[in-house]
A and B are shown apart, each in its own frame.
Chain A
């Protein structure tokens, strides 16, 4: 039986800032490949030809009448009042730094910046109204929403259509901000988690957090790990220049969640024993300034480089120059970038506090706080080419087996339990 799914997402290639867009692309491609129809709602203009397999809609194109303004989104999320929300909320960044970062990213990468506009909550609101309108005008079997930004829209659509809601959690507020979590975002997450008919978590770790933080019934939560798209899996590694200085890469937002500070401390330990290694930190974020100072203080500035925000070909180039990729995340619901590194034949070290650690065998794992162990493992990979080669050869085989088709099948089985018989 073909299902028609109304899907709410916040980003989609080529406009995206993180793994969420990549995951939505891989997942919708695989779901439509299984014969299901998807209407995918984005907040702003999508590039329709980016995904011919989808019915891609942008909320900003949907005319909102005065009647639609009062659909009752606010009461859905009581006791919250949207109007009182400050305008600089963000999905991934700390509020204190959101605006500065927004401005700096807009300068560097205007396309990315528009995905998360300067007034995010107003956007979330507008978006939810569009969700309500679509729910009234379209016929569909299932609602599938990705992360907190789409929760108001999805709840509204559920109320109007009476269709079941599957909430897909790629990242929780606690992952992004730790104990500094924003209570208002947590409240939206809670409303979504409590009212969704099924929850999909990208890892067992995320499922555990949902159960512990929000007291949600674990029976309601399915774990479906992310995967690698077929187009990506066709890419192959390349020969690294012989005899050049070894390079160790950190790539990601330079924020609390990603543990960049642990990477800096590990680098300084490594450099004491292996002085001829280069460390590269690629990305932007609120911890960048303090970390540049810390690198200077450690006196390793000649071996530690900051590239700022990279995208597109720059990312490909930095991966292909790397001899090792380290993901020291403090809290990572899944973490798709190690899979990318593996596609470039780069061995990876990942934190045990990541969802991807649940499925990767051919990676070294380390507790993010154990800087000595992180340094020791970095040294091991750099010192023993035999180890690096063994890891990357096996990893390439492993990664080709992590397919979106399998993830999509698991998600469909969750749909089936909900679909009217």
Chain B
């Protein structure tokens, strides 16, 4: 039986404050509280609350036949726990239906695996515990920040007990094979892989309101028709996108809510099709083949690699200096220090320093609070300088 597997990534970074060179040694809190709250409130009103209500209503309407997954990042959990309990309760109501799976990821929405396997594991465990305590779900499926994936990462994820993992359905790993099947990572015995159908996913996430797109306007009926045309032996259509697609990236005026209101009915209109969560899809479908990916892939930009975060010398410099601090940070055994170090690990900070402006530039600029990648780097390095000094000075004091 073919199935549609819908997963929404829910994430807002803890953006950093404007931090001047002259603030180093004087200011030790790094978050832009006001800006983060402003954006959280905006996204809550435009997306999280109305989209949550819509999805809940659809689940009730279809009595369990409409199912999907969320992955909520640690920085967003921090923010809704602190400022928007109503948003958190909305997610908890969805969890209570039993129709929504909550995935696990690195708690700081970080690139830790690329620098420190130890820190990676610590963050996954922390996120798993938070999801368990907030939503009462045991982690079954793992997805890495920005859908980053590699053979080595798959091995680590399997070792931590996960049975399903998500990745980008790029030709780089698929060759000419279809993304609409369940695969097994090369060399793994228990872990299964679900690959994003990027064409169908991006039809909604990026092209939905594009008037120059020949398929505009996209209706749920048309979209369901495309899905129904997929060959039956290709069993799983993975539609992975940002949750903010509903109402924030695509505004309400585009008709995005109507689209999602009608989508479950249109998909289920064809009796052979059903919705499944990633865990269910991985459990019910056999692996159709092996996937090998010695290097890292992701869902970002045309390159589908890690160059959006670590592509230039400034990004690599910032990341290396941050992870070089690991022993000193752990040596402190101090909660606040650890928390600050982890806030600085969020991948968005590195994304803002990306200079691939001429091809993918517009997407980067839309999401960046900085005037240029150079400003982003300067700001980050100023904060890192202060953080590094505070870690090291404290260490000296400990030796006294």
* Pair from one complex: yes
User: Which residues from chain A contact B357 at a C-beta distance below 8 Å?
Assistant: 361
Q: Mark A241-280, 1 if CB is under 8 A from B, else 0.
A: 0000000000000000000000000000000010000000
Contact indicator B20/A372 (Cβ below 8 Å): yes
In the complex, how many residue pairs between chain A and chain B have their CB atoms under 8 Å apart?
Answer: 49
Contact call B21/A364, Cβ cutoff below 8 A: no
Are B372's CB and A372's CB within 8 A? no
Contacting pair A389 B313 (CB below 8 A) = yes
A376-B22 in contact (CB<8A): yes
Q: Is the CB of A390 within 8 A of B313?
A: yes
Q: Is B375 part of the contact surface with A, judged by Cβ < 8 Å?
A: yes
Q: Which one, A364, A365, A380, A391, contacts B381 given CB within 8 A?
A: A380
B377 touches A379 (CB 8 A): no
Considering only residues 268-318 of chain A, those with a C-beta below 8 Å from chain B are 273
Q: Give chain B's interface secondary structure class.
A: helix
Would you list which residues of chain A between 354 and 368 have a CB under 8 Å from chain B? 361-362, 364-365
Is B355's CB within 8 Å of the partner chain A? yes
Which residue of chain A has the shortest Cβ distance to B313 in the bound complex?
A386
| B396, chain A: closest CB distance, angstroms | 22
Q: Is A44 an interface residue (CB 8 A)?
A: no
Given contacts A364-B375, A365-B371, A387-B377, contact A373 B20 (CB under 8 A): yes
Does B97 sit within 8 A of A, measured CB to CB? no
Tell me which residues across on chain A come within 8 A of B22, comparing CB atoms. 372, 375-376
Given contacts A387-B314, A390-B314, A394-B355, contact A376 B21 (CB under 8 A): yes
Interface string of A147-169 (1 = CB under 8 A from B): 00000000000000000000000
0/1 interface trace, chain A 399-413, chain B, CB 8 Å (1 if under): 000000000000000
Shortest Cβ distance from A372 into B: residue = B22
Query: Does A384 make an interface contact (CB < 8 A)?
Result: yes
Complex CA gap A273/B355 in Å reads 29
Please determine whether B378 and A380 come into contact, CB atoms closer than 8 angstroms: yes
Chain A residues near B382 (CB-CB < 8 A): 376, 380
Residues of B near A373 (CB, < 8 A) are 20
Rounded to whole angstroms, the CA-CA distance of A299 and B216 in the bound complex is 67
Q: Is residue A377 within 8 Å, beta carbon to beta carbon, of the partner chain?
A: yes
Q: Which residues, 335 to 375 on A, are CB-close (under 8 Å) to B?
A: 361-362, 364-365, 372-373, 375
Shortest Cβ distance from residue B357 to the other chain A in the assembled complex, whole angstroms: 6
CB distance from A269 to the nearest CB of B (A): 8
Of residues A375, A384, A389, which shows the largest number of chain B Cβ atoms within 10 Å of its Cβ?
A384
CA distance A376 to B381 in the complex (A): 12
Please state if B20 and A364 are interface contacts (CB–CB under 8 Å): no
**Which of chain B's residues have a CB closer than 8 A to the CB of A375?**
21-22
Check: B312 CB closer than 8 A to any chain A CB: yes
Q: How far is the CB of A248 from chain B (nearest CB, A)?
A: 15
The CA of A361 and the CA of B373, in the complex, are separated in Å by 10
Q: Which residues of A contact B20 (CB under 8 A)?
A: 372-373, 376
Interface string of A184-203 (1 = CB under 8 A from B): 00000000000000000000
Chain A residues in 8 Å Cβ range of B372: 361-362, 364-365
The distance in angstroms between the C-alpha atoms of A390 and B312, with both chains bound, is: 8
A379→B371 contact, CB < 8 A:
no
A372, B22: Cα distance in complex, Å: 8
Docked complex Cα distance between A389 and B322 (Å): 20
Nearest CB in chain A: distance from B350 CB, A:
14
Q: Nearest Cβ distance between residue B97 and chain A, in whole angstroms?
A: 48
Q: Which single member of A273, A362, A389, A390 contacts B21 (CB below 8 Å)?
A: A273
B378's contact among A273, A361, A377, A394, by CB below 8 Å, is which?
Answer: A377
Contacts of A40-98 to chain B: CB distance below 8 A: none
Report B325-383 residues with CB < 8 Å from chain A CB.
355, 357, 371-375, 377-378, 381-382
Min distance, Cβ B335 to any Cβ of chain A, angstroms: 30
Q: Point out the residues of chain A lying under 8 angstroms from B371, CB to CB.
A: 365
Distance in angstroms between the alpha carbons of A394 and B375 in the assembled complex: 15
On whether the beta carbons of A384 and B381 are closer than 8 Å, the reply is yes
CB–CB B314/A386 < 8 A: yes
Which B residues lie within 8 Å of A376 (CB)? 20-22, 378, 382
Quick one: given A361-B372, A372-B20, A379-B21, are A387 and B378 in contact (CB under 8 Å)?
A: yes
A266 CB, min distance to chain B CBs, angstroms: 12
CA distance A377 to B374 in the complex (A): 10
Q: Which residues of B contact A380 (CB under 8 A)?
A: 21, 378, 381-382
Per a CB cutoff under 8 Å, which of B21, B317, B374 touches A391? B374
Distance to closest chain B CB from A396 (angstroms): 13
The complex places the Cα of A384 from the Cα of B385 at a distance, in Å, of 12
Q: Please determine whether A386 and B375 come into contact, CB atoms closer than 8 angstroms.
A: no
**What CA separation (Å) do A361 and B378 show in the bound complex?**
16
Whole-angstrom CA separation of A375 from B312 in the bound complex: 25
CB nearest to B21 among chain A residues: A376
B352 shortest CB reach to chain A, Å: 14
Complex: A273 Cα to B21 Cα, angstroms: 10
Give the docked Cα–Cα distance between A231 and B281 (Å). 63
Q: Which of B317, B357, B378, B382 has the most CB of A within 10 A?
A: B378
Minimal beta-carbon separation of A364 from chain B (angstroms): 6
Q: Smallest CB-CB separation from B371: which chain A residue?
A: A365
Q: How far in angstroms is the closest Cβ of chain B from A78? A: 47
Report B-chain residues with C-beta under 8 Å of the C-beta of A273: 21
Chain B positions within 8 Å of A377 at CB level: 378
Give CA–CA (A293, B119) in the complex, Å. Answer: 56
CA–CA, A386 and B373, complex, Å = 13
A389 to B355, CA, bound (A): 13
CB nearest neighbor in A for B381: A384
Assuming the contacts A361-B372, A364-B372, asked whether A390 and B381 have C-beta atoms less than 8 A apart, the reply is: no
Contact at A364–B317, with CB atoms within 8 Å?
no
- How far does the alpha carbon of A361 sit from the alpha carbon of B371 in the complex, in Å? 9
Partner of A384, one of B312, B355, B373, B377: B377
Cα A386 to Cα B384 with chains together (Å): 15
Contacts of A379 in B (CB 8 A): 21
What's the least CB distance linking B320 to chain A, in Å? 10
B39 to chain A, nearest CB (A): 24
Contact B378 A390 (CB under 8 A): no
Can you pick out 6 interface pairs between chain A and chain B where the beta carbons lie within 8 Å of each other?
A364-B374, A372-B20, A372-B22, A376-B21, A384-B377, A391-B374
16 other A-B residue contacts (CB within 8 Å) besides A361-B372, A390-B313: A273-B21, A362-B374, A364-B372, A364-B375, A364-B378, A365-B371, A375-B21, A376-B378, A376-B382, A379-B21, A380-B21, A384-B377, A386-B313, A389-B313, A390-B374, A394-B355
The 7 A-B residue pairs whose C-beta atoms are closest, nearest first, are A376-B21, A380-B378, A386-B317, A376-B20, A386-B313, A379-B21, A390-B314
Which B residues are closer than 8 A to A by beta carbons?
20-22, 312-314, 317, 355, 357, 371-375, 377-378, 381-382
